Amino acid sequence: MTKVYYECMDDDMVSKDHIQTAFNFRHAAKRFDGTKKIPDSEFELLLEVARLSPSSFGLEPWNIIVVNDDSFRKELLPWCWGAQGQLPTASHFVIFTAKTSAAMLPDAPYAKHALQTVRGLSETEAGEYVAFYKKWLTEDYGRLEAPQLLHEWAARQAYIALGNMMTVAAMRGIDSCAIEGFKIEKVSQLLEARQCIVPKQDLPVVMLALGYRIDPPKPKARRVLNQIVKEV
């Protein structure tokens, strides 16, 4: 599916009702029906919407680890207080990693490599783009001031993909729960031991449990719109 629309036709649109239903369907599922498995074709769609999610400068500074192995889920469990109900019951369990600050430095190979291999820029073009990236990081965005900030910026991009996966899951009747409640250092060590990451390059930032609910959700609590939005 690579159809690109110049104008969007009515038939291509998703109805407002369907969108609102999905956003109300989604909630943070604390455990899942362990007997129900997300079909492969549905999970592939979720990976595909992550893949097509936008990222700043198109650098796609994140990765996804899919934890299928039950024994690895058990290893993770003591270090993931926020996933106690989800790790044992989720149909699919995903860990997002984001590039470290060291990897995201403009002089590190990642940015230039990504621009050449993914965006197809020539070496000269990629070099110019990286120079621009460096200027932006320094002058506008203040990202080179503190060592953690480039990793944080990479993490922000991962959250766009995370949000899209949760939304599209809901649109397909699949429940989810984003999880930040884990010991980053311990989980990193476990991922390294399984050769899923090189911690100098990538670190876990958020997890996503996916499956089918077994409990009714709590009523949604949100600010009202005028607490969120200002107009100028």
Positions in 111-150 near its own copies (CB under 8 A) = 118-120, 136, 139-142, 146, 148-149
Q: Of 5, 83, 12, 96, which is closest to residue 46 (Cα–Cα)? A: 96
Residues 184-203 interacting with its own copies (rule: CB under 8 A): 184, 191, 194, 196
* Residue 85 CB, nearest approach to its own copies (Å): 17
Candidate residues 34, 37, 39, 54; the one interacting with its own copies per rule CB under 8 A? 54
Work out whether 109 is an interface residue with its own copies (CB under 8 A).
Answer: no
Work out whether 24 is an interface residue with its own copies (CB under 8 A).
Answer: yes
Instruction: Pick the stretch among 83-91, 103-111, 123-131, 176-184 that binds its own copies (CB under 8 A).
Output: 176-184
In angstroms, the Cα distances linking 88 to 66, 92, 206 are 14, 10, 17
Residues 78-97 interacting with its own copies (rule: CB under 8 A): 81
Contact 87, 76 (CB under 8 A): yes
Instruction: Pick the stretch among 12-20, 83-91, 102-110, 123-131 that binds its own copies (CB under 8 A).
Output: 12-20
Work out whether 210 is an interface residue with its own copies (CB under 8 A).
Answer: no
Work out whether 33 is an interface residue with its own copies (CB under 8 A).
Answer: no
Distance between CA atoms of 56 and 156, rounded to whole angstroms?
Answer: 9
Candidate residues 45, 104, 111, 126; the one interacting with its own copies per rule CB under 8 A? 45
In which region does residue 222 sit, left (phi positive, over 0), alpha (psi from -120 to 50) or beta (all else)? beta
Contact 166, 194 (CB under 8 A): no
Give residue 200's identity as a one-letter amino acid code.
K
Going by DSSP bridges, is the β-strand pair 92-99/175-179 parallel, antiparallel, or unpaired?
unpaired
Residue with tokens 């490599």: 113
Q: Of 220, 155, 206, which is closest to residue 25 (Cα–Cα)? A: 220
Instruction: Pick the stretch among 3-11, 83-91, 102-110, 123-131 that binds its own copies (CB under 8 A).
Output: 3-11
Work out whether 156 is an interface residue with its own copies (CB under 8 A).
Answer: yes
In the complex with its own copies, which residue's Cβ is closer, 47 or 105? 47
Work out whether 226 is an interface residue with its own copies (CB under 8 A).
Answer: no
Distance between CA atoms of 184 and 182, rounded to whole angstroms?
Answer: 6
Candidate residues 32, 38, 72, 83; the one interacting with its own copies per rule CB under 8 A? 72
Candidate residues 40, 107, 124, 225; the one interacting with its own copies per rule CB under 8 A? 225
Q: Of 103, 43, 42, 41, which is closest to residue 67 (Cα–Cα)? A: 43
- The count of chain residues that interact with its own copies, using the rule CB under 8 A, is 99
229 C-beta neighbours (distance < 10 Å), count: 8
